[in-house]
Amino acid sequence: MYLEFLKAYRAWLDDGAPIGYSVYAGFTRGSGLCPNLRRYVVTNGGDGECLYTALETLRDRLIVCFGDEYYPFNKNGSFDYLAETRTLTAYSNPKRIAFVDAEIERLEAE
């Protein structure tokens, strides 16, 4: 479900990151990948095991790619992430978007 999430998230971004629950599984502009992944799995009928596996995959990839599973896309860690959540701009973080694109490319090449 991890790859499906990444593709749906990218489609949401490509569509202008619309606000609302419509076809985008409740993605929100002020949330990072982990909360959006949780919403995606639950909205799409995934069970607890599916959610655990998807989150562990994301966590593992963040550690491999950045050495940080908590705030890998923000120079000043939680301070910057909280600013993104307050201003509803987490979705537009270039490092987050680049990670999503790289993960899709990597998984599709496997």
Q: Where residue 23 falls among pLDDT bands split at 50, 70, 90?
A: low
Tens-place pLDDT, residues 67-100? 999 999 999 999 999 999 999 999 999 999 999 9
Structural domain of 44: 2-109
DSSP string, 40-92: HHHHTT--HHHHHHHHHHHHHHHHHHHS-SSSTT-TTTHHHHHHHHHHT-GGG
26 pLDDT band, cuts 50/70/90, is confident
The tally of domains found in the chain comes to 1
